[in-house]
Amino acid sequence: MSTAAARWDGGLYAGNTAHHRAFDDAVLAGAELGPGRDVLDLGCGVGDLTARVADLVGPEGSVLGVDAAPGMIEQASARTRPGLSFYRCAAQELDSTVGAASYDVVLSVACLHWIPGADHPGVLASVRRALRPGGTFRAEFGGAGQIAAARAILDEESARLGGPTGPWYFPDPEEYTALLTGAGMRLDRGHVRLVQQRRAVPDADALVGWLRSQVLVAYAPRLPDDATRAEFAAAAERRCRENLRRADGSYDQDYVRLDVLAHVPR
C-alpha cells in the first residue's frame, strides 16, 4: 500500500482501516481462495486482510504479505502464525523477493494507486511471473475520480506551498486493461471496471484520522521541509473539515475503485 517515499505510521494506519475492511467481502469473493492455495498479498499494509486470507487458505496453504513501509510490516508481523509471513518489499522489487510460478493468487487491495504509473508495466510483469499457470490476479485500488472533492482541496493547498498535485495514480479501465494484457494476463474470465462507493467517515475526528493516516502522506514527501509540511497539514485539515461535511453531518468520502480480476494463461 505504500511507496518508499511516503512516511507511514503503521499504528496510526491500523486505527483507520475500517473503511477498507467494510468492502473486503466483495474483493475476496472473486479471488478464488480456498484451502491449500498459496497467496501473495501485494501491499499488505498492517496485515489485517492478510490474516483473514490465511484463515481462508488454512494450514494447507500459505500467505506472504509484502509492503514497502517498515512501519506497516512491523505492525503486520504481530499477526504471524503457521503459513502466514510478512516481508518488507516494494512492489517494484517483487522479482527479488518471490520466485517464478510460486503463487495461485496475487491479491492487492488499496496499494497500486501508490505506485507511479510508469512503474505499472514492470509491476504487472512481476505479478504475472509470480503466478502459476491459470493463476488469479485480484486487485482493488483507486481509479479515475477517486476522492475528487477532497483531492481538489489537497491539490490546491499543496500547490500553494510548492508541493505536488495529483500524487496518486488513478487509472481508468481502458488504460489498465491495456497494461494487463500487455503484461500477458487475460480478462476473458475477469474484468476491469470502476466501482462507486460511499465510505463511512462519521465525524470530524474520523476525517482527521483518515487524512493523517493515509492521505496527507501522499503529498508530504515532496513538500520542501517539515515546517511547510506542518502548514500544509493544518490548512488541509481545516479546509476539509469546513468544506467536506455532508448534509447528514458525516464526512463520508466518495471512493471510485478500479476493480480488477485477471488470470494467467494455463
Is residue 233 a part of any domain in this protein?
no
Domain membership of residue 53 (yes or no) is yes
Q: Note whether residue 222 is domain-resident.
A: no
For the chain, the farthest-separated pair of C-alpha atoms sits apart, in whole angstroms, at 54
Cα separation, 105 vs 186, in Å, equals: 14
Mean pLDDT of 119-138: 98
Q: Residue 52: which pLDDT band, with cuts at 50, 70 and 90?
A: very high
Query: Dihedrals φ, ψ of 190, to 5°?
Result: -140, -155
Residue at 45 is within a domain = yes
pLDDT tens-digit readout, 137-151:
999 999 999 999 999
Q: Which string of b and e fits 67-86 if b means at least 16 CB within 10 Å?
A: bbbebbbebbbebeeebbbb
Pairwise CA distance, residues 57 & 228, whole Å = 46
Question: Has residue 252 got a pLDDT over 90?
Answer: yes
Position 26 in a domain: yes
Give pTM, 2 decimals. 0.95
Q: Flag whether 2 is in a domain.
A: no
Residue 65 maps to which CATH number? 3.40.50.150
Closest by CA to 187, choosing from 82, 264, 97, is 264
Tell me which residue range forms the domain holding 192: 10-146+167-200+254-263
Task: Give the model's pLDDT for residue 80.
Answer: 83
Does residue 108 register a pLDDT over 90?
yes
Taking only the tens place, the pLDDT of each residue in 192-210 is 999 999 999 999 999 999 9
Whether the per-residue pLDDT at 51 is higher than 80: the answer is: yes
Please give the pLDDT value at position 5: 59
The answer, yes or no, to whether residue 123 has pLDDT greater than 60, is yes
Q: Is residue 228 part of a domain?
A: no
The stretch 2-25 carries a mean pLDDT of 86
* Cα–Cα distance, 5 to 115 (Å, whole number): 11
The candidate with the shortest Cα–Cα distance to 178, out of 117, 89, 236, is 117
3-17, 19-33, 68-82: range with lowest mean pLDDT: 3-17
Residue 236: inside a domain: no
So what's the pLDDT on residue 7?
86
Query: For the segment 57-107, what is each residue's pLDDT rounded down to a tens digit?
Result: 999 999 999 999 999 999 999 998 899 999 999 999 999 999 999 999 999
Please give the tally of structural domains in the chain.
1
Mean pLDDT of the chain: 96
Helix H or strand E segment including 67 = strand 62-67
| Share above pLDDT 90 across residues of the chain, in percent, rounded to a whole number | 96
